[in-house]
Amino acid sequence: MVNDIPARMIYAGRRWRVTDTPTRLRHSTWSVPLGEHHHGLYGWRFQGTDEEGVSFVFDVYKGEDGWHVHRAYD
């Protein structure tokens, strides 16, 4: 996070740089219920690009034990 906005992450053993403007996601945005303990859930959607130039769009959310990837789109 840089200024509370995603900038990079490690996912599936690879380093991903955020390569677009992240969009904040609110609880009502999630297509699949994530359980009672995620009340007030928020997250981000952004494009991430790895060191080989492969890009995906990621939906990530903050859980009690850190950040998690909810979905990845190619």
Q: List pLDDT tens digits, range 8-62.
A: 999 999 999 999 999 998 765 555 555 555 555 689 999 999 999 999 999 999 8
pLDDT of residue 64: 83
SS3 call for 37: helix
Residues 16/8, Cβ–Cβ less than 8 Å:
yes
Residues 14 and 16: their CA atoms lie apart, in Å, by: 6
> Is there a domain that residue 35 lies in?
no
Residue 71: the pLDDT is 93
Instruction: Determine, yes or no, domain membership for 1.
Output: no
Domain count, the chain: 1
Residue 49 lies in a domain: yes
Is residue 49 within 8 A of residue 39, CB to CB? The reply is no
Note every long-range contact of 43-46, with CB atoms under 8 Å and residues 24 or more positions apart, other chains counting. 43/70, 44/5, 44/6, 46/6, 46/18, 46/20, 46/21, 46/22
Q: According to the model, what pLDDT value does residue 42 have?
A: 80
- Predicted pLDDT at 65: 87
Domain that holds residue 17: 8-30+40-73
